[in-house]
Amino acid sequence: MVRAEYCGDGVGHTRNDTPVAIFDRIGIQKDEPAPALSFEAAWGPEGAVCVRHTRLRSVLPTEALGRICPRLESRVGRRCDEAAPALLFDRSAGD
């Protein structure tokens, strides 16, 4: 998640110093929303469960994510929210 490794394949899609806020549903890491950050994705053991927006849209537009990671093709954009069945969630500023 920290590396924006959406496909769970070892390929990250972020840059150093990109702000990310991590949270979970069980309260180990509480959700502390920051105005500059918006919901990015829900995460499981295999990578992203769904992606609302990619962290660096100029590097990997959300619309292109399904092409590089077919299992996410129907799980991007508005279809992804905090109700997704996931272990962890994050917010990011993106670019």
Within 8 A by CB and 6+ apart from 6, the residues are 13, 41, 47, 48, 51, 54, 65, 69, 72
pLDDT in tens, 49-64: 999 999 998 889 998 9
- At 33, the pLDDT band (50, 70, 90 cuts) reads confident
Closest C-alpha to 76, from 54, 44, 43, 45? 54
- The pLDDT value recorded for residue 67 is 93
The model's pTM is 0.92
Is the pLDDT at 25 greater than 90? The verdict is: no
